[in-house]
Structure 1
Amino acid sequence: MKKHHQDIRDLIYVHLNQSDQYVISYGIEFDEFVAAFSGSLNHLLLLKHRFDDAEFNVHTLLEYCPEDKIHKMAAEDVYGYGDFCWIDFIEEEVLNELTGQEMAELLYLGHHKHHLKLPFYNKLGNRFVYLAHDDGWFNKIYYRSFKDFFHLLSEAISNKLGELKPEKSILGIRKKRTISKVNKEILLSLTPFIKEGICISLKAADHQRAKIEIPVWVVGDFANMDDMSEEYRHIAKQPCHAKIIFDKKTREWKLNII
């Protein structure tokens, strides 16, 4: 059982920094990230971790998680690692081509959770840089393409919603409700808000007979998640700024900006 703040399961905070190509988030964990990109993740060069089954690269003096062990790592208590940082890469041979300067940049990334230069390396072919402290509590992910971010957010919202309100079968056994993924276009429409920093509250979702309404609040730009949580508690008493709505009959999503 994962030991962490329960709110991580039902509150998502995202703040998008377009110029530096990263998103700071709360509420989306590594196992959810892996599920969203299942089958398309490459090997992970581990900058900070506690994974016991990693392999060692002699050139960088760093460990890495091969593609075929990513699901094993995702099943661990990654939150319990504390710092958890990695960058993906295509094949081990490319690690041996990294220069001293590039290795210094990678070590800086893992240590400071910030870049010296934008951390996209053609020789590595990386799509992401994943920098987390208490995974799911504070995550900073660099995206080569923000399409990947919107894909992750879409998957996370629908999966969390399905887990929060499980359906009961004829025998009364609770099973996860399958809810269609949120249209990327809807989430793209929220981009101006996401650039300011938003909270999406699954816990505060209004479950009606015909639809589910998920409230969205603009809370601002936070790097400290205690401060973000405090601001959310304050602002959640006020009317929300938007609602993401799931129509149970058509199984389609729509957005209502208030």
Structure 2
Amino acid sequence: MAKKMKTTDDFMYHLYIHMNDVDQFVIYSGLSFKQFFSSVEPMKNVLLLKHGYEDGSFNMHTQFDFIGTEDMKPFLKKLSDMQGDLCWIDFSSEKNVNQLSPMEQAELLYFSHKREPLGLPFFGKLQNRYAYYSSNTDKMTKVYFRFLGDSEQLTTNLLNKMIEEKEGNGSFWRRKSKQAIPTIDPVVLRTCRPYAKEGALLSLFKMEKSAQYGIEIRTLAHYNFPDEVWDDLEEILKQGYDELIQIN
């Protein structure tokens, strides 16, 4: 009997990734800020460079709004209602923001306007790990990582959380036993970095008649605009995958 071809309904989640390891950024499509925030190490504060949020705190020195740790939950809650682009950079303390030079502030403005920095967007004064730009219109998120390995850790945490939530719909004992829940290690995703550098679609699914999950990876080197991936998704899934990661 011929093997049944998967359709979009057979997958739990799709994530487009295109990595530039030289300039230390990754372009995602299918990743929301809430997903990003819940999949990385906790951030103390976020300096808003472009946004539509009206309830942030105001930094007099830079005249940028910012979100402190205690205000992060309301910010996340209102994000889904916000329109337009979102650009931010994390920072350790407002005292350090007040030390930014005019040139450093100009670099932040340049990044928020051009979606790319003048150089690597990591400031010793801010001690930031990320520089983030997302566009709802273009269905893309661009993240600069101080430590590029954080990108694979992000994806790992995101997929593991989805699997855990899926398994959480099962029995009480399954929820109690985390050892029984399939997980993926970031080291495994790191071995697939060559695909990400070409541009790739990661598709998560649960295997039939099995407790295992799988990630199909398809190289999409000819896509220059991430939003086009979703227009062609059904046709893309008809193509054979380049790599299959089994999660158990």
Q: Into which bin does the TM-score normalised by the smaller protein fall? A: 0.7 to 0.9
Residues 95, 238 of structure 1: alpha-carbon distance in 2 compared, 3 angstrom cutoff: same
TM-score (norm 1): 0.81
- More displaced 10-residue stretch of structure 1: 129-138 or 40-49: 129-138
Counterpart CA distance in 1 for 2:36 and 2:154 is 7
Structure 2 counterpart of 1:31, from 8, 28, 34 = 34
Q: Give the CA deviation at 1:198.
A: 1.0
Corresponding residue for residue 3 of structure 1: none
* Alignment match of 1:86 (pick from 85, 88, 92): 88
Query: Per-residue deviation at 1:223?
Result: 4.9
CA distance in 2, matches of 1:91, 1:180: 38
Measured against aligned partners, the alpha-carbon deviations of 1:43-64 in whole angstroms (never above 9, x if no partner) come to: 1100111223210011111100
Rate the CA distance shift 1:31–1:150 in 2: closer, same or farther, 3 A: same
5+ residue gaps, structure 1, are 1-5, 248-258
Q: How many residues align?
A: 233
Distance change >3 Å, CA 136–CA 22, structure 1 → 2:
same
Q: Give the equivalent residue in structure 2 for 1:127.
A: 129
Asked if 1:167 is matched to 2:169, the reply is yes
Query: 1:207 — aligned with what?
Result: 208
The reply on whether 1:18 has 2:52 as its aligned counterpart is no
Deviates more, 1:141-150 or 1:130-139: 130-139
State which of 177, 189, 193 in structure 2 corresponds to 1:187.
Answer: 189
Q: Using the alignment, how far apart are the partners of 2:47 and 2:134 within structure 1?
A: 14
Q: CA RMSD in A?
A: 2.6
Shift of 1:228: 2.6
Percent of paired sites with the same residue: 29
2:97 maps to amino acid: L
CA contact (8 A) 1:43 1:64 kept: yes
Report the counterpart of residue 238 of structure 1 in structure 2. Answer: 239
- Higher relative contact order, structure no. (Cα contacts within 8 Å, ≥ 6 residues apart): 2
- C-alpha change, 1:135 and 1:10, in structure 2 (3 Å) is farther
| Structure richer in helix, relative to its length | 2
Unaligned stretches of 5+ in structure 2? 1-8
- Secondary structure at the residue paired with 1:129? strand
- Separation of aligned partners in 1, 2:159 and 2:137: 17
| C-alpha separation in 2, matches of 1:144 and 1:161 | 28
- Per-residue deviation, residues 12-57 of structure 1 (Å, max 9, x unmatched): 011110011000001221112221235x312110011122321001
| Equivalences for residues 85-164 of structure 1 within 5 A | 85-134=87-136, 137-163=139-165
Per the TM alignment, residue 151 of structure 1 is displaced from its structure 2 partner at its CA by: 1.1
